[in-house]
């Protein structure tokens, strides 16, 4: 039996694709369907919106950081037991890693999974020309399974009907609905993209209004019908969601409004290799729960620097544990948290101080990375690589010599590495090299055994 699924794509970013996607997820959920959300690419923020809309954890489908097999396994495994899977695309339909490549694009993910595509078109400043856009995308690569169009930001009923007629008569592609301009439902944004779901205050009232608008504006029965045209699952080898080892250590994950950027598969692989996962809040918790290792992911620690810095008892305990040899894996926001301080606005906020450096907010670093060890280490060995990405507006300045963690294909290197610390701006994607989570768990087990002796 096949999996019902479709992709919500667009000609470019900024069309309202995310708002429409979470609106459809919420509306279908309100109709009683179990909706499984996904996001193309490495983005952490949209997946947070998906969870609020569907009640189910969203997963990234990334064919740059992961293999085709990884994409299939994540999609098929998490779609089991669900009525429909909705994939939100990334940027424009054909936008991938490079200008001459479809690698990592929404189109490529659609091809790997055999998923039909529905495109969101922003018609706020166009009429008949919208038909040329649809025709161009249909003809650019005829392998695209373009099955429908949703018009967004229309000015009036007449505007809707005019553009609908133009598209359907010139392309034969059905317009599934038309949404009028509504600034109240627009999602906020900041330098790393959209503002997170929690900060946007995506509450029940917002979702209720969005769901109502979608149900009035879009033919959801047709959406479900199109999803049933998805290809039957193709063969793949389970390498993530297969047999778990017996629990042999406890890893504490920092999770709160400052640290929300984690790939579910990273956590799943830690569990696979024997880690029991617990969570702690670096703002609220005054004491660490029992753990044998710490994982601190990315987020926006600069926005909550005052609150993080104010929890001096926890900062001191984390520093003490790290000095005692407790393994810690930190990326991006977590890397900043381990530094001596974060400079934000006109203030400097003390942090953990496990890394001899200060964090300054400046410059943009963005993109996929092939990640190699800067020097032979405990987690990433010489001759190995992992895939990941960078996305940050800060710089860490060291005040003494140190061992870097990672080097990239372009020759640049970054991060901080010691016997029990592996940290850097790069977000590592564990499915790209399962030795990374496996060895981190091993480190935590060794620390546990040492403290028991």
Residue 283, C-beta contacts closer than 8 angstroms, at least 6 positions apart: 256, 257, 258, 304, 307, 308, 311
β-pair type (275-280, 84-88) = unpaired
| CA distances (Å), origin 164, targets 129, 151, 240 | 11, 8, 44
β-pair type (117-122, 175-180) = unpaired
H or E element at residue 190: strand 189-190
| Phi, psi (deg, nearest 5) at residue 385 | -145, 160
115: exposed, middle or buried (Cβ count in 10 Å: 0-12, 13-18, 19+): buried
Which residue carries 């800067």 as its tokens? 374
> Active-site residue among 160, 178, 249, 332?
332
* Spatial CA neighbour of 262 closest among 277, 247, 242, 243: 277
| Rg of the chain (C-alpha set) | 23
Q: Which of 326-350 are b and which e, b meaning 16 or more Cβ less than 10 Å from the residue's Cβ?
A: bbbbbbbbbbbbbbbbbbbeeebbe
Joined tokens for residue 75: 């999609």
How many other β-carbons are positioned within 10 Å of the β-carbon of residue 190?
A: 13
Q: Where in 51-162 does DSSP place strands (E)?
A: 59-61, 84-88, 117-122, 146-154
How many other β-carbons are positioned within 10 Å of the β-carbon of residue 130?
A: 23
CA dihedral 336, 341, 344, 346 (to 10 degrees): -170
Q: Quick one: how many helices (H) and strands (E) in the chain?
A: 13, 26
Annotated catalytic, 332?
yes
Residue 352, C-beta contacts closer than 8 angstroms, at least 6 positions apart: 315, 318, 319, 322, 337, 338, 339
Q: Which DSSP state fits 218?
A: B
Catalytic residues: 332
């Amino acid at each position: 039996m096949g999996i019902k699924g479709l992709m919500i794509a667009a000609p470019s970013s900024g069309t309202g694709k995310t708002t429409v996607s979470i609106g459809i997820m919420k509306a279908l959920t309100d109709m009683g369907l179990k909706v499984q959300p996904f996001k193309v690419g490495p983005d952490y923020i949209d997946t947070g919106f998906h969870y609020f809309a569907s009640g189910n954890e969203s997963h990234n489908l990334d064919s740059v950081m992961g293999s085709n097999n990884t994409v299939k396994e994540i999609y098929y495994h998490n779609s089991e037991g669900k009525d429909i899977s909705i994939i939100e695309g990334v940027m424009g339909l054909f936008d991938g890693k490079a200008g001459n490549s479809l690698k990592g694009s929404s189109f490529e993910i659609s091809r790997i999974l055999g998923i039909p595509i529905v495109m969101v078109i922003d018609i706020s400043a166009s009429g008949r020309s919208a038909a040329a856009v649809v025709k161009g995308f249909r003809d650019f690569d005829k392998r695209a399974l373009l099955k429908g169009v949703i018009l967004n930001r229309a000015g009036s009923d007449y505007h809707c009907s005019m553009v609908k007629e133009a598209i359907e008569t010139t392309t034969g592609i059905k317009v599934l609905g038309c949404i009028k301009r509504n600034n109240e439902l627009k999602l906020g944004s900041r330098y790393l993209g959209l503002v997170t779901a929690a900060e946007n205050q995506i509450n029940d009232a917002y979702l209720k209004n969005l769901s109502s608008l979608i149900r009035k504006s879009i033919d959801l029965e047709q959406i479900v019908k199109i999803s049933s045209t998805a290809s039957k699952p193709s063969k793949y080898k389970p390498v993530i969601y297969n047999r778990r080892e017996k629990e042999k250590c406890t890893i504490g994950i920092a999770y709160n409004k400052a640290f929300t950027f984690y790939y579910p598969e990273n956590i799943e692989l830690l569990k696979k290799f024997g880690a029991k996962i617990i969570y702690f809040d670096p703002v609220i918790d005054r004491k660490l729960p029992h753990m044998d290792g710490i994982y601190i992911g990315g987020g926006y620690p600069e926005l909550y620097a005052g609150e993080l810095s104010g929890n001096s008892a926890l900062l001191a305990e984390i520093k003490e544990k790290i000095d005692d040899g407790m393994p810690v894996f930190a990326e991006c926001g977590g890397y900043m948290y381990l530094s001596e301080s974060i400079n934000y606005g006109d203030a400097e906020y003390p942090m953990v101080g496990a890394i001899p450096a200060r964090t300054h907010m400046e410059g943009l670093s963005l993109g996929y990375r092939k990640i190699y060890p800067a020097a032979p280490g405990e987690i990433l060995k010489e001759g190995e690589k992992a895939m990941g990405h960078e996305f940050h507006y800060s710089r860490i300045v060291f005040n003494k010599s140190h061992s870097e963690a990672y080097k990239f294909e372009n020759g640049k290197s970054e991060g901080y590495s010691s016997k029990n610390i592996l940290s850097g701006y790069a977000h590592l994607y564990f499915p790209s090299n399962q030795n990374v989570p496996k060895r981190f768990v091993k480190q935590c087990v060794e620390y546990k055994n040492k403290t028991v002796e």
